[in-house]
């Protein structure tokens, strides 16, 4: 057999039989999936045969959240409700004193 060597661009891809055997080997060595390579839990998704994949995915999600939040400075989308409240306060003039009137009973 040949020694390991850097990947050659002209190197032919694995033939069908080789890749099938590689896949089967990964499945055989994996405790997370069935013989067809699908995960037991969560059921039905294709297995990557990597016990750390769930952790990697979780960390990826955390990194995305860390990048996206907290909110960036600058203009934020304003809800129409808030625009409405601001407009009403402006139209109402100075704040009205709160009266002691009781709520009418229904």
Binding site for Zn ion (CB under 5 A): 30, 32-33, 47, 49
| Residue 47: CB minimum distance to Zn ion, A | 3
> Taking the complex as a whole, how short is the minimal distance between the CB of residue 54 and Zn ion, in angstroms?
12
Kindly state the smallest distance separating residue 49's Cβ from Zn ion, in Å: 4
- 8: exposed, middle or buried (C-beta count within 10 Å: 0-12, 13-18, 19+)? exposed
| Minimum CB distance to Zn ion smaller for 40 or for 83 | 40
Q: Which two tokens stand for residue 84?
A: 């409405």
Plot region of 96 (φ>0 → left; ψ -120 to 50 → alpha; else → beta): beta
Token pair, residue 78, equals 């304003």
CB of 41 to Zn ion, least distance (A): 11
- Which two structure tokens, joined as six digits, stand for 54? 């769930």
Q: Based on CB atoms, which residue is closest to Zn ion, 53 or 63?
A: 53
CB 58 within 8 A of CB 43: no
Nearer to Zn ion, 20 or 89 (CB): 20
Looking at the Cβ atoms of 18 and 24, the one nearer to Zn ion is: 24
């Amino acid at each position: 057999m040949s020694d390991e060597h850097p990947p050659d661009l002209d190197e032919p891809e694995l033939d069908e039989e080789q890749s099938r055997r590689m896949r089967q080997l990964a499945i055989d060595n994996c405790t997370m999936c069935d013989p067809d390579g699908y995960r037991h839990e969560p059921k039905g998704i294709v297995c990557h045969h990597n016990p750390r994949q769930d952790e990697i995915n979780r960390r990826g999600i955390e990194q995305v959240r860390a990048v996206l939040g907290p909110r960036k400075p600058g203009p934020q989308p304003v809800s129409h409700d808030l625009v409405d409240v601001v407009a009403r306060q402006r139209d109402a003039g100075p704040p009205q004193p709160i009266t002691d009137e009781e709520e009418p009973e229904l």
